[in-house]
Chain A
Amino acid sequence: MTRWNEDILLSVERMSMRFGGLLAVDDLSFNVGKGDITALIGPNGAGKTTVFNCITGFYKPTAGRITAHTLEGEKFLLERMDDFRIPKQAKVARTFQNIRLFGGMTVLENLMVGQHNPLMKASKFTFGGILGLSSYKEAEKQAIELAKYWMEKTGLTYRADDAAADLPYGEQRKLEIARAMCTRPKLLCLDEPAAGLNPRESEELNALLLHIRAEEDTGILLIEHDMNVVMEISDHIVVLDYGEKIADGTPEEVRNDPKVIAAYLGVSDEDVENVEQQIEQDVTGSGETEAPK
C-alpha cells in the first residue's frame, strides 16, 4: 500500500518555502518511490511548481530537507548542491511548463547537450576531442546511439537535423522529455507535460511515460492538471492546496478523499461544517488517507 515509503527515490521532509510574506510551501513532506509515477496535483497556486523548483535547485527552500537516493545507496541533499550538480550527480532531471529548448540548435544537438558530462570526460576536456582520440570517438558514438534511441521513442527521428524552434508544440514537448532522459536520470520531474497537447498527443505521452517507468529504471514525478492523465498513469498522488499537503495515496484513495474534492470543487458556506465533519470521521475512521507525520 505504501510502497513509496519503503523503497524511496526522493524524500522531501518538512520543507517550507517563503517568499517575503507568502508561505508558498508549508511544512511539506512526501516520498517518491522507485519505479513509481508520482503525481503532484492541486489547484492553481497550490505551490506545485515551487516544490519542483526547490527539488531542482532553482530555489533554496527556507526550511526542510530534500534527499535523493541513488540506486547504489548514496544519498544527496539536494538543497545543498550547486544547481548543475543535481542532474550530474544526484541524477534528477526536469522539464518546464513553458518549454525551454535550445531553439537555435538541432534536435540531435539538443539531445547531445544533455550528454555533456560523459562526453566532456571522454574528450579529456576537448583536447582529446580535437586530436580525435579513439575513446572520445567511442563515447560520441554511444551518445549518438542514445540520442537516436530517444528520438525513436518520441517519434522525432525524421526531425533530427531540424532546428528545435521549428518543431510544432507537441513535438517540442516530447523533445524536452527526450533531452531530459538523455542525462540518464534516476528521477524525472515533469511540469505539466500534457499541457496544450491534443488527445492523441496526450495518449502518446502516456505511453512514453509508461515506457520510461517500465524500461528505464527511472522514477517520474509529475505536475499535471489533466486528471485523465493523472488517474490513468500514476501510482501515487500527492495533493497540495495552499502549500500544504492535503492528501497522499493511491489514485483510488485520493479520488474519493472529501478534502480533495472540496479543494478542487470548492464548498458552499453551508456545507463547510458537513465536509469538515466528514473529514474528521474519515481521518479517525481509516487513518490511511493521511501519511504518518
Chain B
Amino acid sequence: MEYFVQQLINGVTLGSIYGLIAIGYTMVYGIIGMINFAHGDIFMVGAFISLIVITALGLTVSTGLGLTFVALILVLVCAMIIASAYGWTLERLAYRPLRGSFRLAPLITAIGVSIVLQNYIQIAQGARVKPLQPIITDGYTLMTKTTEAGEFVVQISNIQILIISVTVILMAVFSLIIAKTSLGRSQRACEQDQKMASLLGINVDKTISTTFVMGAALAAVAGLMFLLYYGVIDFFIGFVAGVKAFTAAVLGGIGSLPGAMLGGLVIGLIETFWSAYFSVEYKDVAAFAMLAIVLIFLPQGLLGKPEVEKV
C-alpha cells in the first residue's frame, strides 16, 4: 500500500511534465492539423535556458526560501519568453511558407527543424550531460511502515509539490484562456474554419503564431520542471520526452486540451507503475502498448471527438 502511494505520487509528477508538453502538440494540431515534431526540442531548449539562467543567478540550495522563490519565477519568465521566441520563429520560418502545400511538407520540415535544434544545442552547449545541483530539497513524510528489511517511508518532496501545483495552475489558466477570452475563441474559430474566421476579421496567421507561442511557453515550463526534478539534461532529452508527450496527446484525443492533460497523466502513471512493479527496461514498451490498445478501441482517443462525416 505504501509502495503504491509513493509510485502514485511519482507518476503524477512525471505525468504533469508530459501533460505540459502534450498541450503544445494538441493545440498546434487542433489549429493547423499538423504534428509539430520540433515541439519536444523546444522543451529541451527551455530546459537549457533555465539551466543557464539559474547558473547566471547563482541559485543554490543555500539560497534563502524567499529569494529562491523570486529567482525561480524570474527563471520561469525568462525561459517562457525565450522559448516563445523560438516557437514563433520556428512557425514563421519553417511552417508558414509551407502552409497550403501538401500535408507531408510541414511534417518533413518539422523533423528537419527538430534535428537542427538538437545539433545547434549540441554545438552551442556541448554534447555532455549537464548536471544541476538540487536547489529545492526536503519534503514531507506522509506514511511510514516498518518491515523486516527496514523502514519504508512515503514521501512527497517539495519539488514534486511545486511541479504538480504549477501544472495545475497553468492548465487552469490556459483552459480559461481557450474557453473564455477572445483569443481563445479566435483559436477555436480558426480550428474549425480558417477562411470564415478571416472573413470575420480574425488575423489567422497571427492566431496560429500565438498558438505556437503558447505551446512553446508551456514546453519551457516543462523544461524547467524537468531540470529541477531530474537534475540532469542533455541535448537529446527533447526527443524522448517529445515522443512521450505526443503519445499522451494522441491517447487523450489529439486536439483536445483536457485530453492532453489526461493523456499525460495516464502515460506518466503507466510508466511509473510498470517500472515499479515489473521492469524498468520495458516502461516505454508499456506506455506505447497502452497507446496501441486505446487507439484500437477508441480511435479518437480518450476525450477526442469522433469525426462524424455528414453525407
Chain A residues in the interface with B (C-beta under 8 A): 56-58, 83-88, 93-94, 96, 100, 102-105, 109, 112-117, 119-120, 123, 125-126, 129-130, 179-180, 183
Contact = CB atoms under 8 A, between A and B. Distances in A.
Contacts of B311: none
Nearest to A120: B182
Contacts of B177: 126, 130
Given A112-B185, A126-B182, A129-B183, A117 B176 contact: no
B192 A105 contact: yes
A125 B177 CA distance: 11
Report the 6 A-B pairs with minimum CB-CB distance, sorted nearest first.
A119-B182, A88-B201, A87-B201, A84-B198, A126-B183, A100-B196
A105 B200 contact: no
Given A102-B188, A104-B192, A93 B182 contact: no
Contacts of B183: 120, 123, 125-126, 129
A119 to B, nearest CB: 4
Nearest to B193: A100
A179 to B, nearest CB: 7
Contacts of A123: 181-183
B82 interface: no
A86 B191 CA distance: 21
Interface in B194-216: 195-204
A80 B303 CA distance: 43
B200 A183 contact: yes
Contacts of B199: 56-57, 83-84, 86-87, 93-94
Contact of A104 (B188, B197, B202): B188
Contacts of B182: 112, 115-116, 119-120, 123, 126, 129
Contacts of B280: none
7 contacts: A83-B195, A87-B201, A102-B193, A109-B185, A113-B186, A125-B183, A130-B173
Interface of B: 173, 176-177, 181-183, 185-186, 188-189, 192-193, 195-204, 305
A88 B201 CA distance: 5
Given A102-B193, A113-B202, A129-B181, 17 more contacts: A84-B201, A86-B199, A87-B200, A93-B199, A93-B200, A100-B195, A102-B188, A102-B196, A109-B188, A113-B189, A115-B182, A116-B185, A116-B201, A117-B201, A119-B182, A123-B183, A130-B181
Residue in A56, A104, A115, A116 whose Cβ sees the most chain B Cβ within 10 Å: A116
Contacts of A130: 173, 176-177, 181
Contacts of A57: 199
Contact of A102 (B176, B192, B198, B305): B192
A116 B196 contact: no
A141 B183 CA distance: 16
Contacts of A112: 182, 185
Nearest to A87: B201
A31 to B, nearest CB: 23
Given A113-B189, A116-B186, A83 B198 contact: yes
Contacts of A85: 201
Given A84-B202, A105-B188, A113 B197 contact: yes
Contact of B200 (A58, A96, A179): A179
Given A102-B192, A102-B196, A104-B192, A84 B204 contact: yes
B188 A116 contact: no
Given A100-B193, A103-B192, A116 B181 contact: no
A240 to B, nearest CB: 22
A174 to B, nearest CB: 16
Given A56-B199, A103-B192, A113 B185 contact: yes
A113 B196 CA distance: 11
Contacts of B202: 84, 113, 116-117
A85 B181 CA distance: 21
B22 to A, nearest CB: 21
Nearest to B202: A116
Residue in B182, B183, B188, B305 whose Cβ sees the most chain A Cβ within 10 Å: B182
B179 to A, nearest CB: 10
A119 B186 CA distance: 11
Nearest to B185: A113
A141 to B, nearest CB: 13
Contacts of B189: 102, 105, 113, 116
A60 B204 CA distance: 18
Contacts of B201: 84-85, 87-88, 114, 116-117, 183
Residue in B173, B186, B199, B202 whose Cβ sees the most chain A Cβ within 10 Å: B199
B200 A114 contact: yes
Given A104-B188, A105-B189, A113 B200 contact: yes
B4 to A, nearest CB: 38
A120 B181 CA distance: 9
A226 to B, nearest CB: 24
A105 B173 contact: no
A57 B201 CA distance: 12
A120 B188 CA distance: 15
Residue in B200, B203, B305 whose Cβ sees the most chain A Cβ within 10 Å: B200
Contacts of A58: 195
Nearest to A121: B182
